[in-house]
Amino acid sequence: MTSTARTASPSPAGEKTPPLLDVDPYSGPVLADPYPFFETLRETAAIVELETYGVYVTGRYEETKIILNDHDRFTAKAGIGIHDIRKPGKFRIPNRLLENDPPSHTSIRGVLTRILSPIVVRRWREHFEKEAVIFADRLVEKGQFDGVEDVAESYVLHVFPEAVGVELPRREALAIGEMSFNQAGPDNELHRAAVKKAEPYLDWYDRSAERESMRPGSIGEMLFEAEERGELEEGVATNMARVFVRGGMDTTIAGIGFTLNQLARNPDQWAILKADPSKARQAFEEAIRHESPSYVNFRTTTRETELSGYHLAADTKIGIFSGCANRDPRFWKEPERYDLTRDTAGIHVAFGFGTHNCIGQMIARLEAECILKALAERAESIELTAEPSYRPVNQLRTLAELPLKVTPRKAA
């Protein structure tokens, strides 16, 4: 592999230079099974430099929280992917929420927080629950199904458009999402293949984020109404609508898949959920702690700085691997074990942390809770019929197939 690492510069007295790690986290074998890399990353040092890309990364929990919450030293404005979107040849229109810092970020998030208030989200519960019951009845009657295509993808792509306000046909939506998550990584074969796959749907993608495409009463319509009232700068509503279309469902789909996978692998955990289906949200939270959909997110140093005793150069990308931090034994007890009774909500970093935590997490939790609860109320058992497979994506950890078998509950 070709190294693009910077020439090391002398560190101030008392500060160490991050050690080099010659591992490509975007290579096929690592994407297929990142956990050996995660362990190496965590145990090498609090901060390391990836020799292949010349970027800093961490896999430890405490450092992850610091980086995500300190926008003064670690800016999101250069993009949350590996490329600096401010640089020639890498420029693209930034995500006005995720790739922004206070105070601009604060004002936009304030409007979105009001739109996505708990009161608004609760209005969707009845619809989400009703649809989940229909899906669960059908799945239990069927007996065998794919937990990705038949459950996670089908359910989320059915109910999420009702909330966001746009049509999300499966083929188009998944292709655009895959392109977006691959573009956040290096210009590798995954990136190029995803762009080519999405090309036929780019016109649909542009149209889907237009004012005229929004359903009445939806998030999308409320965004445009806020912009029309002058609460958002011109262009922010379209930008945010595009964000919901291209990345509003992929991580939720992944998280529901991970939950089903762990419940099928751990009959004792399924028994806990079956006995008390109200624990469905806990099962989901622990699943995305145990196996996080967001593979890696980047910030950029605003100046020379120090973190955990290591000297960091200015204007340099620094990545955090959420799935690695969420299994850091320095913080978590028995991190490799899936335990839905574990207290994880608001503690794990699968939804980010601090000012940039996921704005749509309430919707994700509601979707997951509804479909998992409905299944737990109707299925006596759940098991794998074959080993699941993973879909390689530069910036997303997600299943491709999850062959499952359920048996119906016996009538009381």
CB distance 398 to 289 below 8 Å? no
List pLDDT tens digits, range 295-344.
999 999 999 999 999 999 999 999 999 999 999 999 999 999 999 999 99
pTM over 0.95: no
Could you tell me the domains of the chain? 20-408 (1.10.630.10)
- Judge contact between 391 and 398, C-beta under 8 A: yes
pLDDT tens, residue by residue, 31-76: 999 999 999 999 999 999 999 999 999 999 999 999 999 999 999 9
The residues, any chain, with a CB within 8 Å of residue 158's CB and separated by 6 or more, are: 131, 135
Q: Which helix (H) or strand (E) holds 132?
A: helix 118-142
Per-residue pLDDT of the chain in tens (412 residues, 90 and over written 9): 333 444 445 567 678 999 999 999 999 999 999 999 999 999 999 999 999 999 999 999 999 999 999 999 999 999 999 999 998 888 687 887 788 888 888 888 888 888 878 777 778 899 999 999 999 999 999 999 999 999 999 999 999 887 888 778 889 989 999 999 999 999 999 999 999 999 999 998 888 888 888 888 888 899 999 999 999 989 999 988 888 777 678 999 999 999 999 999 999 999 999 999 999 999 999 999 999 999 999 999 999 999 999 999 999 999 999 999 999 999 999 999 999 999 998 899 999 887 777 777 888 999 999 999 999 999 999 999 999 999 999 999 999 999 999 999 987 6
DSSP strand pairing (310-312 vs 297-301): unpaired
Alpha-carbon span 131 to 411, nearest angstrom: 22
